[in-house]
Chain A
Amino acid sequence: DTGVSQDPRHKITKRGQNVTFRCDPISEHNRLYWYRQTLGQGPEFLTYFQNEAQLEKSRLLSDRFSAERPKGSFSTLEIQRTEQGDSAMYLCASSLVGGRGLNEQFFGPGTRLTVL
């Protein structure tokens, strides 16, 4: 257990439905990242926040995807009008700027999304 939690762990939905995932980072961490991972591939970066500010978004993050971190603590990732291609593991990670490891991010267990 890294201290980063994600909810739900699994989500099955029908194409066209909206889904929302939650991530609770390690409490003192000021950065929060979202990644997506499909089977057999490494994680792909989606977006990241420093405190409540969203600093970068990948081109992978289409306009159907939105992420928030309203109070600089937990974050939500919403996917609207889901498509079968959205099926993947969605990983959240957190880190502390100026912490022990420059590139040390602590990953949660992920939310596995299946779009039928």
Chain B
Amino acid sequence: LAKTTQPISMDSYEGQEVNITCSHNNIATNDYITWYQQFPSQGPRFIIQGYKTKVTNEVASLFIPADRKSSTLSLPRVSLSDTAVYYCLGAAGNKLTFGGGTRVLVKP
């Protein structure tokens, strides 16, 4: 199981780019780095996952260096509705092990 470490909280403003870095020093070779978003009183929602280098989809980008000991989730031009908890985890297609996540607050 990959134990991850990420900031407890971050503040940002509307329109800014938010970057959340996660450390996962002992990630397993088979694990993909995966990010989830969770709003209050809802279940988590898958955002993005990757193994190495850079992955981009319609909502975020994920940067993973060659050593895979960390990753950075990038949320471009955030809005108030991006206020949520963001979880980084490593997994290989079965159970998910969530840490405490990063609480992102987007201010007007």
A107 x B98 contact (CB < 8 A): no
**Bound CA–CA A14/B99 (angstroms):** 30
Q: List A32-72 residues whose CB lies under 8 Å from chain B.
A: 33, 35, 40-45, 48, 55-56
Q: How far is the CB of A98 from the nearest CB of chain B, in Å?
A: 9
Knowing A41-B100, A102-B32 are in contact, say whether A107-B43 is a contact too (CB < 8 A).
yes
A contacts with B: majority SS: loop
A91 x B95 contact (CB < 8 A): no
Does B97 count as interface, using CB distance less than 8 angstroms? Answer: yes
Does B69 count as interface, using CB distance less than 8 angstroms? Answer: no
CB-CB under 8 A from B93, the residues of chain A are 97, 102-103
CB-CB under 8 A from B95, the residues of chain A are 33, 45, 48, 56
B49 x A103 contact (CB < 8 A): yes
A109 x B43 contact (CB < 8 A): yes
Does B92 count as interface, using CB distance less than 8 angstroms? Answer: yes
Does A26 count as interface, using CB distance less than 8 angstroms? Answer: no
**Bound CA–CA A103/B99 (angstroms):** 16
Q: How large is the interface on B (under 10, 10 to 19, 20 to 34, 35 or more residues)?
A: 20 to 34
A56 x B94 contact (CB < 8 A): yes
CB-CB under 8 A from B87, the residues of chain A are 42
Beta-carbon nearest neighbor of A33 in chain B: B95
Please encode chain B, from 74 to 103, with 1 for each CB lying within 8 Å of some chain A CB and 0 for all others. Answer: 000000000001010101111111111100
CB-CB under 8 A from A25, the residues of chain B are none
Q: How large is the interface on A (under 10, 10 to 19, 20 to 34, 35 or more residues)?
A: 20 to 34
CB-CB under 8 A from A91, the residues of chain B are 43-44
B98 x A43 contact (CB < 8 A): yes
CB-CB under 8 A from A2, the residues of chain B are 43, 45
Does A101 count as interface, using CB distance less than 8 angstroms? Answer: yes
CB-CB under 8 A from B29, the residues of chain A are none
Q: Beyond the given A44-B98, A93-B43, A103-B92, could you list 14 further A-B residue pairs with CB under 8 A, ordered by the A residue number?
A: A33-B96, A40-B100, A43-B44, A48-B95, A91-B43, A97-B93, A102-B32, A103-B34, A103-B49, A103-B93, A107-B42, A108-B43, A109-B43, A110-B41
- Residue numbers of A with Cβ under 8 A of B are 2, 4, 33, 35, 40-45, 48, 55-56, 91, 93, 97, 101-110
